[in-house]
Amino acid sequence: MARGQDPRRPAAVLVGPPGAGKTTVGRRLARALGVAFADTDEMIEDRTGRACGEVYAELGEEAFRVLEAEVVEAALAGEGILALGGGAVVTPATRELLTRHTVVHLDVSVAEGVRRTARGGHRPILAGADPEARYRELLGRRRPLYDEVADFRVRSDERSPQRVVAQILSFLETDGDDGA
């Protein structure tokens, strides 16, 4: 386990931009490990009774990040696999909390991220006349933060979710065997 991880905490925390596949891969990874899965965006929706994008649009980014950080902190006390919202890493306190966990960065190309986010749900952070330019700018700001917190990075485009899960499982097995 990386960074002196407590075995009662999440086996892995998935971070990455919108459309990277954190929820899809997270559910499959949890199933493969026989553990629970949680997604902080879904936890925010459960807490507020509204879609995450609506909450973001209503509160604005600053207030949303405060709410998100509270949810992330509570979720990190749980077990299993945890997927964080794409922007969770912009909060310094969240990045600090992640230093005590095994973090996997699911990376995706701009073109694939835009394609995936265009087909699903309301994402106000990507709203605008040029979603590709907006996604590229968002990724440019966040990629260094994902890399900062990550113990392992895997591309999720041009690979099936099963292959991504296999790569993460291999990392988790090797990381645990090293006693790191």
CATH number at residue 161: 3.40.50.300
What is the side-by-side strand order in the sheet with 152-155?
A: 37-39, 80-83, 10-15, 103-107, 152-155
Tell me the average pLDDT across 98-120: 87
Determine which helix (DSSP H) or strand (DSSP E) holds 154, and give its type and residue range.
strand 152-155
Ligand-binding site membership of 60 (annotated): no
Structural domain contains residue 25: yes
Contact 141, 44 (CB under 8 A): no
Mean pLDDT of the chain: 87
Structural domain contains residue 3: no
Contact 152, 104 (CB under 8 A): yes
Structural domain contains residue 2: no
Ligand-binding site membership of 113 (annotated): no
Structural domain contains residue 86: yes
Ligand-binding site membership of 20 (annotated): yes
pTM of the model: 0.88
* pLDDT-derived band at 106, boundaries 50, 70, 90: very high
Q: How far apart are CA 155 and CA 161, in angstroms?
A: 10
Residue 128 confidence (pLDDT) = 65
Residue 131 confidence (pLDDT) = 80
Q: What are 26's two structure tokens?
A: 């997270």
Ligand-binding site membership of 22 (annotated): yes
Structural domain contains residue 32: yes
Spell 145-158 as b/e; 16+ CB within 10 A means b. bbeebbbbbbbbbe
* pLDDT-derived band at 92, boundaries 50, 70, 90: very high
> By mean pLDDT, which of 7-11, 25-29, 34-38, 110-114 is the weakest?
7-11
Secondary structure of residue 81 in the 3-state scheme: strand
- Tokens 């493969």 correspond to what residue? 32
Ligand-binding site membership of 39 (annotated): no
Ligand-binding site membership of 159 (annotated): yes
Structural domain contains residue 81: yes
Residue 180 confidence (pLDDT) = 39
Task: Look up the domain containing 77 and give its range.
Answer: 8-175
How many domains in the chain? 1
Ligand-binding site membership of 142 (annotated): yes
Ligand-binding site membership of 123 (annotated): yes
